[in-house]
Amino acid sequence: MEMDRMDGTRQGQGGFGRFGRLAPALAVLALFVAAWLLGWFDYVSLSNLIMHRHALAARVSDHFAVALVVYFFVYAGLVAVSFPGASLLTVTAGLLFGAIAGGSVTVLAATLGATCIFLVARSSFGDVLERRAGPFVSRMVEGFNRDAFNYLLFLRLAPVFPFWVVNIVPGLVNMPVRAFVAATFLGIIPGTFAYAFIGAGLDSVIAAQEQANPGCAAAGTCSIDPSALVTAKLLLAMLALAVVSVLPVIVRKWRAPGNAG
């Protein structure tokens, strides 16, 4: 009887432990679903930014510090729930706060948000995902196992991987938090400031559209393609930085004893 009670207690504790590990991930999922159902993500669009930019700029001008703090926490929260349109918010920051202030606060907020979802992934479902990962994730895991810091730095600099994926995968290999924070902070600086500078010059793009189609800004009908704001030169520059980031790994592998001679 006593042994049965002890076994039942262990099973209950095991179930509670599993739920406790999943609780952070479930909370993030609940926030994402709630935001989607309430239509919050719909507000983050280029047309809305164009329509309301003057009102937003006036509020920021009157309460610059408060607006900066609010933006910081909103951005960090959206990154933490893996919101897919964070780059547009970076453009918004450049438009409202200027390229330097907007880019700086975005780097800090993105690093905080990325670290939050990284910790959630590592504590909640890292072991499960590693066992069930497909070939794409498995290749990324192999890269992290070889040289976590430089590999993450490469993934941050290379504009070819979704930001939220790169936040979660390091949790599969229990990457040290300090290395994750440092590689994320350094790796997102070029791309973040590139988008912030795009935002700082967005008014001139809108003005050109207004000349071709008067009243389009107020009506939200200006035909500005967000992808057109990112030039080929910008992508090539970021790719070059990504290649530079993995040079230490390549050199180390080339100089390994097995490759000598």
pLDDT tens, position by position, 158-190: 767 788 888 988 887 878 899 999 999 999 998
Q: Where are the domains of the chain?
A: 21-251
For the chain, how long is the longest CA-to-CA vector? 85
The per-residue pLDDT string of the chain (261 residues; one tens digit each, 9 = 90 and over) reads: 555 554 554 454 454 455 455 555 555 556 656 655 555 556 666 677 777 788 889 999 999 999 999 999 989 988 988 887 788 889 999 999 999 999 999 999 999 999 998 988 887 655 555 555 555 566 667 777 778 888 898 888 876 778 888 898 888 787 889 999 999 999 999 889 888 888 888 877 777 777 667 766 666 666 665 555 666 656 666 666 666 666 666 656 665 555 554
Distance CA 107, CA 171 (A): 20
Kindly report the number of other CB atoms within 10 A of residue 203's CB atom: 15
Kindly report the number of other CB atoms within 10 A of residue 27's CB atom: 13
pTM: 0.72
3-state secondary structure of 22: helix
Contact 108, 74 (CB under 8 A): no
Contact 86, 78 (CB under 8 A): yes
Distance CA 86, CA 102 (A): 13
At residue 70, what is the residue type?
Answer: V
3-state secondary structure of 213: coil
Q: What is the full DSSP assignment across 110-162?
A: HHHHHHHHHHHHHHHTHHHHHHH--HHHHHHHHHHHH-HHHHHHHHHHSTTS-
Tokens for 36? 């989607």
Distance CA 156, CA 245 (A): 10
Distance CA 205, CA 202 (A): 5
Distance CA 150, CA 82 (A): 23
